[in-house]
């Protein structure tokens, strides 16, 4: 169970990216987080595994407070949080198998990592998972030789190798073509139920969010403004999240006095 | 500032000239003036002794004359000298490249904490601030004449050069791979081995080849100040007025450099 409460993230002295965010994810549900660029989706996800340091607030995974952890304790906590990235973030020059085994780096010793002598169970698990997503025959291929969809499968398997208690996916389909991205969403959905794993997915594509997830959370300017089932996510919710996002319109509306057109180069 | 007339009242063909590199005319012509004044002052005040130069020209001609034809009679000496130079260069490259990796990691701002970064940069800056010849003079004074001084000199030289370029390469890696490894809970050194080293590997091999090439060249120079290798043989030949032998050495040096440059260029092109 993931419990986020009063999470604030502020870069420097700017407006906070996340403002008093509360979110509870129970059981093995698939939750999608939608919102315009800059709404704080990615920041929220990265606060959970502390790739981004939260300014204040609390994040608890299965009762374990994550915000205060440091050093080895933080690394042990990260092992239990799998992450899938928009740009896949595979080690291009290493083989698919090495990339997959890299998911075990939090568990093995440095010597095992360098010499690639991973425990037999790890290798067995790697093959099983790769077979499950259909990339086992690529084990010895270099990661950069694969297509986008295949690369994201490697990313998913790497995250699952961690034996995670939760899976975070930061726009996992944004770099993929529509068909492949449907496949990846389907894969995430079915893996979540097979492994009874809660999954948080940042996503731009509202149609996919509605089709493949059980719960939609809408963020805008770092605040949660929608939380409900896909069937409740209607036009109003969409407008509230994405509507009027163009900054110039807002400025015109807010300051009508300054709205008269000026030719910029007259000022010189 | 007046604005150009865009209403189109001025007839005739429009003209265009490339804007000057330095927009301010005072600065532009001022710089030319400064260069001119400097040249006049430099030629006027540096002690060029034209008589001495005129005397020296025939002497130079004599040296060149007696250098031809180059003599390869003392081939044994030539061979020993080059063998030592090769040994120095290869050993120094291996040592220098191996040591440059930890220093490059220390000197990369994105993966090293500030105090370690400053230390790493300091080591690289110090080892780059002196020409190998000066370093060789110091090492010859410290450890005596011979190849050890040469190896130490070129090792330091390699650490500086390879370390600096490698550190810059590390600072430009794709950070996403590092994030991915962090997210698995990997420790610092595992992240280095998995997310950083594979990304800089091709550059590292390329730099090592280039450095071998460069060390071969430099090993001839540092030999002149007593750090072993073919440079010492060359210096002795000049000292004994064996200009024909000296020219033979120079020719071989050119040949060796050409060959090694060709090989390293080919290897660097092959690996990517």
CA–CA dist B168, B121 (Å, integer)? 11
CA–CA dist B184, A103 (Å, integer)? 6
- A29-33, A260-264, B118-122, B138-142: which has the minimum mean pLDDT? A260-264
- The pLDDT assigned to B202 comes to 86
Mean pLDDT of B90-101: 92
> What CATH number does residue B141 fall under?
1.10.3720.10
What is the strand order of the sheet A81-84 is part of?
Answer: A81-84, A166-170, A199-202, A30-34, A215-220, A223-228
Query: With contacts defined as CB-CB under 8 Å, which chain A residues touch B179?
Result: 51, 85, 89
- The pLDDT assigned to A85 comes to 93
Query: With contacts defined as CB-CB under 8 Å, which chain B residues touch A77?
Result: 185
Same domain, B122 and B251: yes
The encoded tokens of residue A161 equal 């190798």
Number of H helices, E strands in chain A: 10, 10
What letter would DSSP give residue A95?
A: B
Using the structure block, give the residue that is written with the tokens 């610092």. B188
Same domain, B55 and B144: no
* Yes or no, beta carbons of A105 and B183 under 8 Å apart: no
**Residue B144 forms part of a structural domain:** yes
Same domain, B222 and B151: yes
- The pLDDT assigned to A254 comes to 42
Alpha helices in A53-109 (DSSP H): 71-79, 96-101
Is the separation of the CB atoms in B237 and B249 below 8 Å?
A: yes
Q: What is the number of structural domains in chain B? A: 2
CA–CA dist B131, B135 (Å, integer)? 7
At B74, the pLDDT band (50, 70, 90 cuts) reads confident
Distances, alpha carbon A59 to alpha carbons A63, A74, A125, B152, in Å: 9, 13, 30, 54
Is the separation of the CB atoms in A107 and A75 below 8 Å?
A: no
Say whether residue B176 is in contact with chain A using an 8 A CB cutoff. Answer: yes
CA–CA dist A23, A159 (Å, integer)? 22
Is the separation of the CB atoms in A243 and A234 below 8 Å?
A: no
- The pLDDT assigned to B164 comes to 93
Same domain, B46 and B140: no
* Yes or no, beta carbons of A104 and B184 under 8 Å apart: yes
**Residue B12 forms part of a structural domain:** no
Is the separation of the CB atoms in B163 and B103 below 8 Å?
A: yes
Q: pTM of the full predicted structure? A: 0.78
| Chain B CA closest to residue A161 | B184
CA–CA dist A146, A61 (Å, integer)? 34
Mean pLDDT of B232-236: 84
- The pLDDT assigned to B20 comes to 82
H or E element that contains A81: strand A81-84
SS3 B104: helix
For B47, the domain range is 25-65
Q: Out of A76, A78, A85, whose CB is closest to B176?
A: A85
| Chain A CA closest to residue B178 | A89
Query: With contacts defined as CB-CB under 8 Å, which chain B residues touch A73?
Result: none
Quote the Cα angle for A223-A227-A229, to 5°: 160
- The pLDDT assigned to B10 comes to 60
The encoded tokens of residue B222 equal 């540092």
Same domain, B150 and B176: yes
Same domain, B173 and B39: no
- Residue A123: CB atoms within 10 A of its CB come to 17
Sign of the torsion formed by the C-alpha atoms of A111, A72, B174 and A198: positive
Q: Which CATH class is domain A1-70+202-244?
A: alpha beta
Say whether residue B134 is in contact with chain A using an 8 A CB cutoff. Answer: no
> Where is the domain boundary, B45, B65, B85?
B65
At B7, the pLDDT band (50, 70, 90 cuts) reads low
* Yes or no, beta carbons of B180 and A158 under 8 Å apart: yes
- The pLDDT assigned to B272 comes to 59
| Chain A CA closest to residue B3 | A266
Span B15-50, pLDDT tens digits: 888 888 888 888 889 999 999 999 999 888 887 777
Would you give per-residue pLDDT tens digits along chain A (268 residues)? 899 999 999 888 888 888 889 999 987 889 999 988 888 889 999 999 999 999 999 999 998 999 989 889 999 999 999 999 999 999 999 999 999 999 999 999 999 999 999 999 999 999 999 999 999 999 999 999 999 889 999 999 999 999 999 999 999 998 888 889 999 999 999 999 888 899 999 998 888 899 999 999 999 888 898 998 988 888 888 888 887 655 444 433 444 444 444 444 443 3
The encoded tokens of residue B156 equal 């330091």
SS3 A107: coil
Query: With contacts defined as CB-CB under 8 Å, which chain A residues touch B193?
Result: 110, 113-114
> Where is the domain boundary, B13, B48, B65?
B65
CA–CA dist B19, A160 (Å, integer)? 60
**Residue B204 forms part of a structural domain:** yes
CA–CA dist B156, B92 (Å, integer)? 8
Does B182 score more than 60 pLDDT? yes
* Yes or no, beta carbons of B186 and A105 under 8 Å apart: yes
Percentage of chain B beyond pLDDT 90 is 36
Work out whether strand A199-202 and strand A30-34 pair parallel, antiparallel, or are unpaired.
Answer: parallel
**Residue B4 forms part of a structural domain:** no
Same domain, B52 and B163: no
Domain layout of chain A by residue ranges: 1-70+202-244
Strand partners of residue A84: A169
SS3 A2: strand
């Amino acid at each position: 169970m993931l419990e986020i409460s009063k999470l604030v993230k502020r870069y420097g002295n700017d407006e906070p990216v996340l403002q008093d965010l509360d979110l509870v994810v129970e059981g093995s549900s698939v939750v999608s987080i939608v919102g315009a660029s800059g709404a704080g989706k990615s920041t929220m996800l990265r606060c959970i595994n502390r790739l981004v340091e939260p300014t204040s607030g609390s994040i608890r995974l299965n009762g374990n407070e994550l915000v205060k952890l440091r050093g080895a304790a933080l690394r042990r906590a990260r092992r239990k949080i799998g992450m899938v990235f928009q740009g896949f973030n595979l080690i291009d020059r290493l083989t698919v198998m090495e990339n997959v085994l890299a998911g075990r780096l939090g568990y093995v010793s440095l010597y095992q990592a360098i010499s690639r002598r991973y425990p037999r169970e790890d290798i067995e698990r790697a093959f099983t998972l790769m077979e499950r997503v259909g990339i086992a025959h690529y084990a010895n291929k270099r990661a950069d030789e694969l297509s986008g969809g295949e690369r994201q499968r490697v990313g998913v398997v790497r995250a699952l190798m961690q034996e995670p208690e939760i899976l975070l996916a930061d726009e996992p389909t944004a770099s993929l073509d529509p068909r492949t991205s449907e496949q990846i969403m389907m894969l995430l959905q079915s893996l979540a139920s097979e492994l009874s794993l809660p999954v948080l997915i940042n996503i731009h594509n509202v149609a996919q969010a509605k089709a493949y997830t059980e719960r939609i959370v809408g963020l805008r300017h770092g605040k949660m403004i929608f939380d409900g089932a896909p069937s409740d996510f209607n036009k109003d919710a969409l407008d509230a999240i994405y509507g009027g996002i163009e900054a110039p319109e807002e400025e015109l509306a807010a300051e009508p006095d300054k709205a008269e057109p000026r030719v910029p180069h007259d000022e010189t | 500032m007046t604005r150009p007339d865009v209403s189109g009242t001025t007839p005739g063909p429009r003209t265009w000239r490339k804007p000057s590199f330095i927009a301010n005319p005072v600065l532009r012509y001022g710089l030319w003036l400064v260069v001119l004044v400097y040249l006049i002052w430099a030629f006027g005040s540096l002690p060029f002794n034209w008589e001495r130069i005129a005397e020296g020209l025939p002497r130079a001609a004599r040296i060149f004359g007696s250098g031809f034809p180059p003599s390869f009679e003392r081939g044994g000496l030539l061979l020993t000298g080059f063998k030592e130079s090769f040994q120095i260069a290869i050993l120094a490259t291996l040592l220098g490249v191996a040591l440059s990796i930890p220093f490059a990691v220390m000197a990369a701002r994105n993966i090293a904490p500030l105090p370690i970064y400053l230390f790493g940069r300091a080591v690289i800056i110090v080892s780059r601030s002196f020409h190998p010849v000066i370093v060789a003079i110091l090492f010859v004074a410290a450890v005596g004449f011979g190849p050890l001084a040469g190896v130490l000199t070129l090792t330091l030289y390699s650490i500086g050069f390879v370390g600096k370029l490698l550190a810059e390469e590390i600072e430009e890696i794709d950070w996403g791979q590092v994030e991915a490894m962090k997210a698995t809970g990997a420790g610092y050194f595992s992240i280095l081995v998995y997310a950083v080293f594979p990304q800089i590997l091709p550059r590292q091999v390329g730099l090592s080849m280039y450095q071998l090439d460069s060390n071969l060249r430099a090993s001839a120079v540092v030999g002149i100040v007593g750090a072993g290798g073919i440079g010492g043989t060359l210096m002795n030949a000049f000292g004994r007025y064996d200009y024909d032998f000296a020219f033979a050495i120079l020719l071989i040096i050119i040949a060796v450099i050409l060959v090694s440059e060709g090989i390293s260029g080919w290897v660097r092109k092959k690996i990517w």
